[in-house]
Amino acid sequence: MTTSVLPYEEFAEVALSYLNQLYAAARRLTGNPADADDLVQETYQLAFQHYGELRSVAHCRAWLYRILHRQAVTRYRRQRSGPQLVLLDGGADEGEHPTPHVAFDGDLLEHISLQEVRGAIESLPADLRIAVTLCDIEGFTYAEIADITDAPVGTVRSRIARARAKLMRKLQTHAEECGIRRKTS
Amino acid sequence: MSGCPAFEELSALTDGDLSRARAVEVRQHLARCEPCRRQVDGLSALKRAVGRAYDSELPSPTVRRAVAAGVAKQRRRRTS
């Protein structure tokens, strides 16, 4: 077993300070409280077992998210053939070119509810949704997201752009259906 | 406009994740390209909206207790 240079008490204090954030991320990943509870408990259990692998407390938050996401994927794969999908997944990514035809009018968002925005986020394929929420909600850099999700940085960048293109299209369509007009042509 | 940066680069610019040299080039382009500027404005507004889309969900007391118990268990294991 690896000997840690990080005092256990220091690690435990820092790790516990991220409990609320990790739980919120787990809720977004799983879509329900029961699975989020299990996922967070498993994450901390693994973190306490393996904290010797952590290089410094500065990396603690990203390291915990990495465990959380790995565990979520493991649970998803394990239960995929069962009656319940643990990882909330909005469907397949067709891998289309991300460039929207028209620039998205950000002012439209003032007239769109947060519930509608959440709905659009949750309709994204899991890979795209995870990348864009780690970036925009959790504030991780592309390099950190690459580490958390085990993907190359270029893939992370592409996933975030594709997620945003899809969100723009969906929210633009919603705005048009609701008669919300663009400010400029 | 020809020579416009890819959407992916505009998206990365809003995250501050372009290289410094490329970010300078893209910003110079934005200064003279209205459609790309509008695209970046839209991307920035979307980033803010996603960032505030969720209320913070708090863990139940059961989860807090279970995690705290995990800390204590590991501490005992280390000191025994």
Alpha carbons A117 and A171: distance in angstroms, whole number: 7
B57 closest CB neighbour out of A24, A106, A142 = A24
Calculate mean pLDDT across residues A2-31. 86
Per-residue pLDDT tens for A92-143? 555 555 566 567 888 888 889 999 999 999 999 989 999 999 999 999 999 9
Q: Is the pLDDT of residue A4 over 60?
A: no
Structure tokens at B18: 């372009």
Q: CB distance A105–B35 less than 8 Å?
A: no
Q: What is the pLDDT of residue A86?
A: 45
Contact B51 A103 (CB under 8 A): no
Closest B-chain CA to A116: B53
- Establish if B25 touches chain A: CB-CB under 8 angstroms: no
The verdict on A100 touching B (C-beta cutoff 8 Å) is yes
Q: What is the pLDDT of residue A99?
A: 63
Note the pLDDT of residue A83: 41
Between CA A10 and CA A176 the distance in angstroms is 52
Residues of A with CB below 8 A from B58's CB? Answer: 20, 23-24
How does the average pLDDT of chain A come out, rounded?
85
Residues 27-46 in B contacting A (C-alpha not used; CB under 8 Å)? 35, 38-39, 41-46
SS3 label, residue B42 = helix
**Model pLDDT for residues B13-60, shown as the tens digit of each residue:** 999 999 999 999 999 999 999 999 999 999 999 999 999 998 878 898
- Nearest-CA neighbor of A184 among B73, B38, B54, B72? B38
Q: What is the pLDDT of residue A103?
A: 73
Residue in chain A closest to B65 (alpha carbons) equals A41
User: Hey, what are A167's tokens?
Assistant: 């969100």
Q: In angstroms, rounded to a whole number, what is the distance separating the alpha carbons of residues A167 and B45?
A: 12
Q: What band does A185 get if pLDDT is binned at 50, 70 and 90?
A: very low
In degrees and rounded to multiples of 5, residue A80 shows phi and psi of -60, -40
CB < 8 Å to A36, chain B: 57, 59
Q: Tens of pLDDT along A19-66? A: 999 999 999 888 888 999 999 999 999 999 898 888 888 899 999 999
CB < 8 Å to B49, chain A: 109, 112, 114, 117
3-state secondary structure of A179: coil
DSSP SS3 for A165: helix
Give the number of residues written for chain B.
80
pLDDT band at A178 (very low <50, low <70, confident <90, very high): confident
H or E element that contains A88 = none
pLDDT of A167 strictly over 50 = yes
Residues of B in contact with A160 (CB under 8 A): 11-12, 15
The closest CB to that of A104, out of B46, B67, B78, belongs to B46
The span from the CA of A168 to the CA of B77, in Å, is: 51
Q: Locate tokens 């507004």: which residue?
A: B45
CATH classification number, A8-79, choose in 1.10.1740.10, 3.50.50.60, 1.10.10.10, 3.20.20.70? 1.10.1740.10
In chain A, % of residues over pLDDT 70:
82
What are the extents of the domains in chain A?
8-79, 106-177
Rounded Cα–Cα distance for residues B13 and A1 (Å):
42
Residue A178 in contact with partner chain B when CB distance is under 8 A: no
Residue A181 has a pLDDT of: 66
Q: Which CATH number fits domain A106-177: 1.10.630.10, 3.30.710.10, 1.20.910.10, 1.10.10.10?
A: 1.10.10.10
